């Protein structure tokens, strides 16, 4: 006998009235009540779970990292991963390059082509989104991450500087065949400022504007995700953004924000 306990997951393999048919890690199949289970995201024809998350890999590119262990954790737990705190050295992203190399040919990534703030400060960062290339790929015409319009924080920056590191987003899709898309979505990376609590809240209050930018970049797209490090606990984030927050998990909760413009998720 096996059981699916609270906060555990299994692969969805089918559906009947009132019940989901699932496959447990042991290989056994069984049924869980639809009343007590939630389908997170699936590629329609395969029933394969698409695991989307984010990770602040502290100071990636500065100091030393056990890249083998980091890559193993990513490969075992995610299919799409937003990475923040991708640090620069002479405007290069050596830590990101080392991580991609360690992940191997089954993983690919998108990374911003400039820093935020756009300076040579040791604290300037890139954003990156990693994806398992066997089940996920960039949408047609989306070969890079696009920054939300904001002052880039550099010497030639123009306009109001609302975000210390404005979000950058891309488009990904999980095809069920060469000709059919099971799930496509826009996903943005965001690392909030850590200057002060007031500054953090001020930035978060502008996230709806980021959703609007994302929606305009791909008209008709309803699946909009912002993931990263918000530097706020869920209740405060909910109040500031005026969005509902559902926290799932124990040690590492997930934050899900829903608005009329899309969905914002992060794993802290």
147: its two tokens: 């920054």
> Does 133 lie in the same domain as 2?
no
> Does 2 lie in the same domain as 108?
no
> Does 231 lie in the same domain as 159?
yes
Residue 208 belongs to what H/E stretch?
helix 207-217
Q: Is residue 191 part of a domain?
A: yes
Q: CA-CA distance, 96 to 196, in Å (whole number)?
A: 28
Q: Is residue 44 part of a domain?
A: no
pTM for this one?
Answer: 0.76
> Does 137 lie in the same domain as 196?
yes
Low-confidence ranges of the chain (pLDDT < 70): 1-8, 38-48, 177-180, 244-268
* Domain of residue 64, residue span: 51-267
Report pLDDT for 17.
85
Report pLDDT for 51.
85
> Does 185 lie in the same domain as 241?
yes
Report pLDDT for 41.
53
> Does 180 lie in the same domain as 62?
yes
Report pLDDT for 203.
94
Report pLDDT for 253.
35
CB atoms within 10 A of CB 227: 27
> Does 253 lie in the same domain as 230?
yes
How many domains are contained in the chain?
A: 2
Report pLDDT for 40.
60
Tell me the CATH number at 78. 3.60.10.10
Report pLDDT for 185.
94
Report pLDDT for 53.
87
| Cα–Cα distance list, 35 to 17, 23, 32, 59, 117 (Å) | 11, 18, 9, 42, 46
Report pLDDT for 167.
97
In whole angstroms, what separates CA 173 from the centre of its chain? 13
């Amino acid at each position: 006998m096996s059981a699916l306990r609270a906060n555990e997951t299994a692969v969805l393999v089918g559906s009947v009235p009132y019940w989901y048919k699932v496959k447990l890690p042991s290989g056994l199949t069984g049924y869980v009540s639809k009343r007590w289970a939630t389908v997170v995201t699936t590629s329609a024809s395969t029933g394969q779970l698409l695991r989307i998350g984010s990770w602040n890999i502290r100071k990636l590119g500065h100091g030393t990292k056990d890249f083998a262990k980091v890559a193993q954790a990513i490969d075992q737990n995610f299919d799409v991963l937003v990475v923040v705190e991708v640090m620069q050295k002479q405007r290069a992203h050596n830590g990101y390059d080392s991580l991609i190399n360690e992940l191997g040919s089954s993983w690919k990534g998108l990374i911003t082509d400039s820093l935020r703030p756009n300076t040579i400060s040791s604290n300037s960062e890139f954003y990156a989104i990693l994806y398992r290339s066997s089940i996920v790929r960039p949408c047609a015409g989306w070969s890079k991450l696009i920054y939300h319009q904001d002052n880039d924080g550099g010497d030639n920056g123009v306009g109001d500087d609302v975000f210390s590191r404005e979000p950058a987003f891309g488009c990904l899709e999980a095809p069920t065949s060469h000709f059919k898309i099971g799930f496509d979505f826009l996903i943005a990376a965001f690392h909030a400022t850590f200057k002060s609590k007031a500054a953090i809240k001020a930035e978060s209050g502008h996230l709806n504007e980021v959703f609007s930018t994302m929606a305009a970049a791909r008209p008709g797209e309803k699946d909009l995700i912002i993931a990263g490090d918000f530097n706020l606990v869920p209740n405060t984030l909910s109040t500031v953004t005026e969005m509902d927050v559902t926290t799932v998990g124990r040690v590492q909760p997930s934050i899900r924000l829903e608005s009329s413009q899309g969905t914002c998720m992060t794993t802290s």
